[in-house]
Amino acid sequence: MGRSAIVLAAGLGTRMKSKRHKVLHEVCGKPMILHILDELDQLNLDQVIVVVGQQREAVQAVVGDRAEIAYQSEQLGTGHAVQAAVPLLRQDVETTIVLYGDSPLIRAQTISALLTEREQTHSAACVLTAKVANPGGLGRVILDNQGRFERVVEEKDASPAEKQIDLINTGIYAFDTIHLVRALARLQPNNAQGEYYLTDTLSILREECQNVVSLQVADPDEIASVNDLVQLAEVERLMRRRVCQHLMREGVTIINPDHTYIGLNVKVGRDSVLYPGTILEGNTVIGEDCIIGPNTRLVDVVVHDRVRIEQSVVYESEIDESATVGPFAYIRPESHVGPRVKIGDFVEIKKSQIGEDTKISHLAYVGDATVGKRVNIGCGVITVNYDGKDKHQTVIGDDSFVGSNVNLIAPLSVGDGAYLCAGSTITDEVPTDGFAIARNRQVTKADYVKSWRKSRIDKDSKDGEA
């Protein structure tokens, strides 16, 4: 029993007012078309075809080898788009489902149920329907007295009584492939737009006395489609809510799901708490008993257990257990923050390894550095890693103390237990247990300010007379 899917993704989506193809707009960090393909992957179908048209190269580049590509040279309606896929349909495919690349909320289990309903009823087609609160502008599904599918009536053709019906046609169908191909061949553009409508295949099948059935989707949100950026924002909201609900059911506390933004590939351990304004993207993994946020962004970050990150940004890095980050810290890619490390306010870490129990409490820049265990880095410390051409490494040994406002001119090595005095500019290697001070001796002139001020007043008076 072969099964195929045809995903319609040919139209550019002019109402999006965007240079990007509609199905390539992202929902929760992933292009809409990939949401559809991910759900279809779960069904182990024999064939998936994506119909492309405008900007086909861009769509093909995202789809890759995950589907066969059919090309619709002109956009002459949904029926015409499916016709473009017919030459690629395999001979052994018994059931073909048709769905849309701009409806990323559809679930694999709904598609599976639609396929099963078509096959178990031996029908020529199964129509996916939905009950919605506001059916205005949508095709109504008319059922007979036994609740069986009778026909679809478009809004413009509906009677006042039919317009009161809240059961709508989602435009998603499962067909007996042989009947689909035959009905497509009979389509005519008998409408004001001069287009071939896929909906008309249902009427053709009914005229042939074929059995057409319907299946109502359990969650109407699944069939939400995107035609403009307003609808894209609504679909994004629905998808985020779905992700948050899943995590909360798995033991994650989300203080305000409406203000928490979590990508589909993100994993969060139980008993972790996400505060409002948290943004988790990419392949971020968060352990158990963590506190993230508020107003924190993590992209492709691995966070171990019992970590707290507050009002900070972290990219492509790893943070070990019981570390604290922020508020207002910035950790750039290829950094590794060790266990129980403190990265405080207005600290920037770049491509550096920070050893366990080290403290970088505030107002410091550590770049291209390896910092040992139990190191104290004071306020205003800077690793001077760039000479205008190349980046250089700084190594700081275990149990060292780096005083406030120290500049470490890389390449530089500081041994274990070293002490670097505040205000120093360190240019040479400091050995183990070394004491380094590099600043001018203070000069204090008693009563100097009084005479200096008087000289300034006298000079200003002479300048005024001149």
Q: Provide the annotated active-site residues.
A: 362
Q: Report whether 405 belongs to an annotated binding site.
A: no
Instruction: Name which of 433, 436, 432, 410 is nearest 421 in CA terms.
Output: 436
Q: Report whether 102 belongs to an annotated binding site.
A: yes
Q: Report whether 298 belongs to an annotated binding site.
A: no
Q: Report whether 11 belongs to an annotated binding site.
A: yes
Q: Report whether 169 belongs to an annotated binding site.
A: yes
Q: Report whether 227 belongs to an annotated binding site.
A: yes
Q: Report whether 448 belongs to an annotated binding site.
A: no
Q: Report whether 334 belongs to an annotated binding site.
A: no
Q: Report whether 186 belongs to an annotated binding site.
A: no
Q: Report whether 90 belongs to an annotated binding site.
A: no
- In angstroms, the CA 369 to CA 351 distance is 7
Q: Report whether 44 belongs to an annotated binding site.
A: no
Amino acid at 334: E
Q: Report whether 145 belongs to an annotated binding site.
A: no
Q: Report whether 315 belongs to an annotated binding site.
A: no
Q: Are strands 336-337 and 318-319 parallel, antiparallel or unpaired?
A: parallel
- In angstroms, the CA 153 to CA 139 distance is 6
Which residues line the annotated binding site for acetyl-CoA? 385-386, 404, 422, 439
Which residues line the annotated binding site for UDP-N-acetyl-alpha-D-glucosamine? 8-11, 22, 72, 77-78, 100-102, 139, 154, 169, 227, 332, 350, 365, 376
Which residues line the annotated binding site? 8-11, 22, 72, 77-78, 100-102, 139, 154, 169, 227, 332, 350, 365, 376, 385-386, 404, 422, 439
Which residues line the annotated binding site for Mg(2+)? 102, 227
